[in-house]
Amino acid sequence: MKKIFNLVFRNLLTMIFDFLFPNRCLDCNQLIDKRKIVCELCQDKVNFSNHNYFGNNSLMDKAALQIPVENAYSLLYYEKESLAQRIIHQLKYNHREKIGKVLAKWITERIDFSNSKPDLLVTVPLHYKKLKQRGYNQLHLFGNELSKHYNIPVSHTLLKRIKHSRAQAKKNQNERLKTKNAYQLTQNINDKHILLIDDVYTTGNTMSNIAWEILNNSKNVKISILVMAMDV
């Protein structure tokens, strides 16, 4: 009886919330289905990268300058004042965690791992102070959705952030380069192909720092990267 009451109560709260705060397109502000983030017309304005995960692309070229990388993929191109920037900022700073679910769906429509897929998905961690402040890691729901679709295990704890810093968006170029030794591997992991997942690829310093932490403390490990957006 208690379970039924709780379910009815949650559904009622959801209905009230949807009525008071209807879901609107992040670009044109028109009412849209609660499972979407932009309307069909505005989705055409989203600057998708159209990368080939298994081939050469602009992210692969950047990443390969810093780390030995097997594959690299960015869903979006991230530019100032763009719709892609608005989507990422809503996800990270405006408590819109469910945007990660939509971005994961867009990924699964574009990448097919049926012939060759990684062994483990690993999300970039937040420092515990930032996690407490934000209330969630914007990559967790995103990573979980990818894990379910592709049937690949995901770890949110393989890496630990041991240095606290300001948000990347608030840093200048020099500050973004000062994240050396900010991450720590919580356990050795060998003989795996790891797909590292982050939100925005800017200088590549975060990915490089994490990748070398894994490579230097593991054996026979391959690294690929996947990000929601890359700075251009």
| Per-position DSSP letters for 80-118, written without gaps between them | TTSHHHHHHHHHHHSS-TTHHHHHHHHHHTT---SSS--
Which of 177, 53, 159 minimizes the C-alpha distance to 116?
53
Which of 73, 112, 117, 68 minimizes the C-alpha distance to 223?
68
Quote the number of domains for the chain: 2
Q: What is the CA radius of gyration of the chain?
A: 18
Shared domain check, 11 and 53: no
Shared domain check, 58 and 38: no
SS3 159: strand
Shared domain check, 54 and 39: no
Shared domain check, 120 and 55: yes
The model's pTM = 0.84
Q: Which region, left, alpha or beta, applies to residue 210 given φ > 0 means left and ψ of -120 to 50 means alpha? A: alpha
Write the CB contacts of 90 (distance below 8 Å, at least 6 apart in sequence): 26, 37, 96, 99
Shared domain check, 109 and 192: yes
Instruction: Give the per-residue pLDDT at 163.
Output: 77
User: How far out from the chain centre does Cα 28 lie?
Assistant: 24
Shared domain check, 106 and 31: no
pLDDT digits (tens, 9 = 90+) for 115-137: 889 999 999 999 888 888 889 99
Print the domain residue range for 58: 46-231
Which of residues 13, 28, 44 is at a domain's end? 44
Shared domain check, 55 and 16: no
Shared domain check, 210 and 141: yes
Low-confidence ranges of the chain (pLDDT < 50): 14, 17, 19, 171, 176
Shared domain check, 116 and 10: no
Shared domain check, 81 and 32: no
Shared domain check, 63 and 132: yes
Which of 166, 228, 214, 184 minimizes the C-alpha distance to 69?
214
- The CATH number for 86's domain is 3.40.50
pLDDT digits (tens, 9 = 90+) for 6-39: 555 555 554 554 545 689 999 999 999 888 999 9
CA dist 63 and 195 (Å) reads 13
Give whole-number Cα distances, 33 to 42, 99, 102, in Å. Answer: 14, 13, 12
pLDDT digits (tens, 9 = 90+) for 2-15: 556 555 555 555 45
* H or E element, residue 123: strand 120-123
Tokens of 180: 């050396």
Give whole-number Cα distances, 228 to 4, 7, 121, 200, 209, in Å. Answer: 38, 33, 14, 6, 19
Instruction: Give the per-residue pLDDT at 125.
Output: 94
Shared domain check, 121 and 97: yes
